[in-house]
Structure 1
Amino acid sequence: MKALQVVLGTRSERMAEPLPPRGFRVAAYVVLFLVGAAVSLCGAFVQALWPPFGVLLALGATGGVFYGGLRLTGTKLGAGIPLAGWFAVLMVMMAPRPEGDFVLAAGLTSYLYLFAGAVAGVACATLPTRTPLGFGAAGNDRQRPVKDPHA
């Protein structure tokens, strides 16, 4: 647990980090969408190529992109944008082609990759972050002064 805390940082350290400039975040969202799509494409082939280690490798890369996007941008959208790119590519690869071919076959590793990847993306997108408008801020960051009714 201590080693994981050193790598990921504590919650208070993450909440104290300043947000990157808006222009950087917008550019990062575009890049993260493309990286999420690329990880999805690679993961779809890797998970079937080396079972069961391939699915673990694909899920590790998928979770790393989602969490990396969260930490890079400091917003929940940083994890949601690569999830959207990941999901969009998977929807295309699950559709059968006119020839009858498809990339993601109905198998245990394919289903595990789809389910666990989606869970990882949603879990990363729900972690507490510091955003400029207070949306998603945890703790006492959003408390407003309370008016005294007796004053």
Structure 2
Amino acid sequence: MIKKALFLSIATIGMFSCSSDDDTNTVNEPSIVGKWQPSKYMAYSGKDGSIIASESGDANTCDKKGSIDLNSSGKWHEIGYYGNNESQCTLNIDATYDYTYDAASKKIQVKYSDGTTKIYPVKKLTDTEFEYVEDVVDMNADGIKDEYTFVFKRL
């Protein structure tokens, strides 16, 4: 009887002395650090969030030759090409800028070499995909500004 009471007492104490899991249930956001390749361009209607098909599509062959390399020391190295045909791809940009990423607000801030700074809202960040809003303009002529985004896949 004493053994049974002792077991129940220990079991009861054990149940109430466990620490809360609240602190361990936080979701770790994937890292923005890495090398990213252009994958798609998407336009989302400001009216209802639907995809504007005429302004959206896959990156072309020359776009896919480019990349953005975001390193952990705050450097954004961008390489970009223009053209539509592999044999006609021309280097358009090879530059490095300073950047910061605020995971709480999901915004990336880039300081360009001409001294200007631009803030890009991050629409999606996973282990394999990164999408940010490049511009907010009326793309479908309905009088409401739409989001134009760049979608990258991790290399």
Question: Shared fold by TM > 0.5?
Answer: no
Higher relative contact order (CA 8 A, sep 6+): 1
Which of these two proteins has the greater Rg computed from alpha carbons?
2
TM bracket (short chain) = under 0.3
TM-score calculated relative to the size of structure 2: 0.20
TM-score calculated relative to the size of structure 1: 0.21
Which has the larger strand fraction? 2
Which has the larger helix fraction? 1
